[in-house]
Amino acid sequence: MILNGVEIRDNFAEAFPMVGTRLIVTADTPEWALTAGRTTTGFATSVIGCGCEAGIERTLSPEETPDGRPGVSLLIFAMDFGSLKKVVPLRLGQCVLTCPTTACYAGVEGGKRVPLAKTIRYFADGHQISKKIGEKRFWRLPVMEGEFVCDEDTGSVEGVGGGNFLILARSRAAALHASEQAVAAMGKVEGVILPFPGGVVRSGSKVGSKYKGLFASTNDAYCPTLRGTRPSALPPEVGSVLEIVIDGFSFEAVSEATKVGVAAVCAVGAEGGVVAVDAGNYGGNLGPFHFKLREIMKDSAGGTA
Amino acid sequence: MSGVSLKPRAPFAARVDLSGITPAVTCPLTLRELEHLPVPHGGRSVKLAELFFIEGAPDGVLLIEIGDERLDGVGAGMTEGELIVDGRVGAWAGRGLSGGVLRIAGDAGDFLGAEMSGGRIELAGTAGARAGAAGSGSRRGLSGGVLKIGGNAGPRAAERQRGGLIVIAGDAGEGLATDMIAGTVSVAGAIGPLAGRGMKRGTIIAQARPELPAGFVDTGVHELVALRLMARRVAELAGPLNGWTSARRLVGDTLMGGQGEVLVPG
C-alpha cells in the first residue's frame, strides 16, 4: 500500500491492556492549568521506568470545566488498578496540590474508583472540609494560597497502551517534521495521549538485551547507523526513524489516533522526505490488541494498494 | 394499580397519620387492597377508603388531591417514586425520606424532612419549625438529599443537620442550624437570631451577614473556588451563589470547638 508516495508496510502495532483515568485540572489562567498539567504528566513516558504513562489529552475552555475556569484534561495509565491507585494520588499531591490556583476534578464517571482527595485530604491536618451534595463528594483543603478544591475520587477505564507507528524518513529533519504534523493532528482525537516527549520517541526499543537484567534495549533493526552490520528493516534511503506511541481509553480511540497520525505523515509524503510507515510488535503473541496499519488505512483517500 | 390518587371525602375530623402510605406501598396494591389499608385517624384506625376517594394516577405516582394541615407524616419513610400533594400538609412530612420525590404545593407543618437521608422534597409554601432537623431524642437531623423550601422556614431549621442540602428561598427563623454537624443550608432571605449556635461543621450560605453567637470568628473575605464549583455543579445553589467568586467566611461555633462556617457575600 502506498499513500502519497509513502509505503504503508504490512505490519501491525501490538498493544497491551492498561488501566487509565482522567483528571480535570483547572486554574485561574490557561497558563497555570497547563503548567499543572505538564508537571503532573512529567516523567511519565513509559510504565517500565516511570510507573505510569501520562499526558495532556487536551486543553479545556472555562465553559467545559466544573468550576468555570480554564483547564486541562489529563490521562494517566498504569499496568494494573493497584499501581494506578498509587501513582495518581502521588502525582496529585506533588504536582497539582502544590501548583498555584489549581483545583482537580474527576474526569471519568464509571469504573473502579481511583482516590483523589480521599487520600491527600489529610494534608489539611483536620481542617479539611468535605461537601457531599447529590452523589458527589468534594473536599476543600486550606493551603497558604487559599483553598485547594478536589473531588473525592475519579473513575477508571480498561484502556489500551502501546499503540504505535514508526516514521521512516530520509533525514532527521524530515522525520521530525512528519512526526510533528502527526502529533498535532492526533491531539484532536478524544481519549488518547502520546506519553513521550512532545509525543515522539526517538529511541524505540526491542525486547531483551545482551546485558543481564535489561528488559529492553535499542531497536537495532531500525537504527540507521547499524544498517548492514545487523539484520535491518531499513532500506538504504532511510536516514532517521521516529516512533509515536499511543495510549487510549479504548481500542477504537487508539485505532482512530493511528489513522489520523498516519494520514498526517502521508500528507507530508515522499516529497517531504517520508519513505515508509511501519509499526512495532513482538510477534503478536504478547499483546492482545493488534493495530494493522493497512487495515486502518484501507479507506484513506488517494491510496494505491 | 400503578399510580394512586387520593381525594379526601370530607374535611378531616381528627389528625391523620399517613406515614407509611408511600408510592412504594400503594402502587403495587389493587384498588380493593388499597381501600382496606389501615390508617391512624385520631385515636383509632380506619380504612383508607373511609377517608379518601381512591382513583388511578400515572405510574409510580401517589397524588393527594386536596391537602390538609391535619395530614401528618405525608411521604414519611418514602424510598422511591413520586408523592404529590396539591395543598398543605401537617407535621412530619417526608420524615426519614430516603429516596424519591415529595412535592407539596402548599405549606408544611413542623419537622418537614426531619432526618431525611436521600431523595428530594420540594415545598412551595412555608415550613413550620425544625425543618430538616432531628426528631425528639434523635442525634442527627437531615443527612442527605435535597430539601427545598419555597417560602419561609420556622425556627430551628437544619437543627443537627448531618449532611445534604437545605435551600430556603424565604427567611429562616430563630436558631437556624443549631448544633449543625455537617451539610449545607442556604437562605435567600433574612436569618433570625442565634443562627449556628453549637455548630460543629457544615456551611450556612447567607445573602447578608446574620446576627451570630459570640463563638463565631471572622476570617475575612476570600476568593473561594468552591463557590464557583457549587454554583455550577449543584443546580439548587446556582441561584443563591450566582456571581459569587469570593465570600466572607465566619467560622464557628468556636466556643464549642466547632469548625462550621457562615458564608456571606464578600
List the CATH number of the domain containing A292.
3.30.70.520
Which pLDDT belongs to residue A303?
Answer: 47
Which pLDDT belongs to residue A301?
Answer: 54
The mean per-residue pLDDT over the stretch A78-93 comes to 96
pLDDT in tens, B148-169: 999 999 999 999 999 999 999 9
Cβ of B163 within 8 Å of Cβ of A132? The answer is: yes
The mean per-residue pLDDT over the stretch A228-238 comes to 94
Is it the case that residue B10 has pLDDT exceeding 70? yes
Q: How many distinct structural domains can be found in chain A? A: 2
How far apart (Å, rounded) are the C-alpha atoms in residues B229 and A78?
29
Work out the pLDDT band at B1, boundaries 50, 70, 90: low
In B, residues 153-182, which contact A (CB 8 Å cutoff)? Answer: 163-165, 182
pLDDT in tens, B102-128: 999 999 999 999 999 999 999 999 999
Residues A255 and A194 occupy one common structural domain: yes
The mean per-residue pLDDT over the stretch B244-258 comes to 95
Residues A31 and A135 occupy one common structural domain: yes
Residues A56 and A132 occupy one common structural domain: yes
Q: What is the DSSP letter of B211?
A: P
Residues A45 and A138 occupy one common structural domain: yes
- Classify the phi-psi angles of B183: left when phi > 0, otherwise alpha if psi is within -120 to 50, otherwise beta: left
The mean per-residue pLDDT over the stretch A192-215 comes to 93
Name the burial class of residue A251, with classes exposed (0-12), middle (13-18) and buried (19+) by CB atoms within 10 angstroms of its CB: middle
For residue A103, which residues of chain B lie inside 8 Å, CB to CB? 225, 229
How far apart (Å, rounded) are the C-alpha atoms in residues B191 and B174?
7
Nearest to B225 among A103, A130, A133 (CB): A103
Residues A61 and A146 occupy one common structural domain: yes
Residues A69 and A196 occupy one common structural domain: no
Contact B148, B125 (CB under 8 A): no
Task: Return the C-alpha cell found at B33.
Answer: 387492597
Cβ of A134 within 8 Å of Cβ of B226? The answer is: no
Q: Which residues of A touch B (CB under 8 A)?
A: 26, 66-69, 103, 127, 129-134, 136, 138, 140, 146-147, 149
Which pLDDT belongs to residue B94?
Answer: 96
Residues A152 and A47 occupy one common structural domain: yes
Residues A153 and A260 occupy one common structural domain: no
The mean per-residue pLDDT over the stretch A220-224 comes to 95
Residues A41 and A169 occupy one common structural domain: no
Contact A130, A139 (CB under 8 A): yes
**Residue in A with minimal Cα distance to B163:** A132
Pairing of strands B217-223, B246-252: antiparallel
The percent of residues in chain B predicted with pLDDT above 90, rounded, is 93
The percent of residues in chain A predicted with pLDDT above 90, rounded, is 90
- A90, A122, A157: which is the final residue of a domain? A157
pLDDT in tens, A31-62: 999 999 999 999 999 998 899 999 999 999 99
**Residue in A with minimal Cα distance to B221:** A146
Which pLDDT belongs to residue A302?
Answer: 53
For residue A140, which residues of chain B lie inside 8 Å, CB to CB? 224, 226
Cβ of B165 within 8 Å of Cβ of A133? The answer is: yes
Cβ of A133 within 8 Å of Cβ of B164? The answer is: yes
For residue A129, which residues of chain B lie inside 8 Å, CB to CB? 201, 203, 259, 261
Please state the ipTM of this predicted complex: 0.91
For the ranges A65-69, A98-102, A177-181, B27-31, the lowest mean pLDDT is seen at: B27-31
For residue A136, which residues of chain B lie inside 8 Å, CB to CB? 233
Which pLDDT belongs to residue A215?
Answer: 84
- Of the candidates A97, A111, A33, A31, the one whose C-alpha atom is nearest the C-alpha of residue A65 is A33
Smallest Cα distance from B204 to chain A, Å: 12
Cβ of B259 within 8 Å of Cβ of A127? The answer is: yes
The mean per-residue pLDDT over the stretch B199-205 comes to 97
Strand partners, A242: A167
Work out the pLDDT band at A71, boundaries 50, 70, 90: very high
How far apart (Å, rounded) are the C-alpha atoms in residues A217 and B240?
60
Cβ of A138 within 8 Å of Cβ of B226? The answer is: yes
**Residue in B with minimal Cα distance to A103:** B225
Is it the case that residue A305 has pLDDT exceeding 50? no
The number of C-beta contacts closer than 8 angstroms across A and B is 53
The mean per-residue pLDDT over the stretch B10-38 comes to 92
Residues A196 and A283 occupy one common structural domain: yes
Residues A130 and A210 occupy one common structural domain: no
How far apart (Å, rounded) are the C-alpha atoms in residues B210 and A49?
57
- A115, A136, A157: which is the final residue of a domain? A157
Cβ of A69 within 8 Å of Cβ of B228? The answer is: yes
How far is the CA of A24 from the CAs of A32, A99, A131, A153, in angstroms?
Answer: 13, 14, 18, 12
- A157, A173, A202: which is the final residue of a domain? A157
Give the residue from B98, B200, B204, B229 with the most A CB atoms within 10 Å of its CB, the best one to mutate.
B229
For the ranges A66-70, A144-148, A215-219, the lowest mean pLDDT is seen at: A215-219
Residues A128 and A184 occupy one common structural domain: no
Cβ of A149 within 8 Å of Cβ of B226? The answer is: yes
Is it the case that residue B134 has pLDDT exceeding 70? yes
**Residue in A with minimal Cα distance to B200:** A129
- Domain range for A130 is 19-157
DSSP conformation letters of A5-51? TEEE-S-EEEEEEEEEEEEEEE-SSHHHHHHHHHHHTTT-S-HHHHS
Cβ of B222 within 8 Å of Cβ of A146? The answer is: yes
Is it the case that residue A99 has pLDDT exceeding 70? yes
pLDDT in tens, A105-126: 999 999 999 999 999 999 999 9
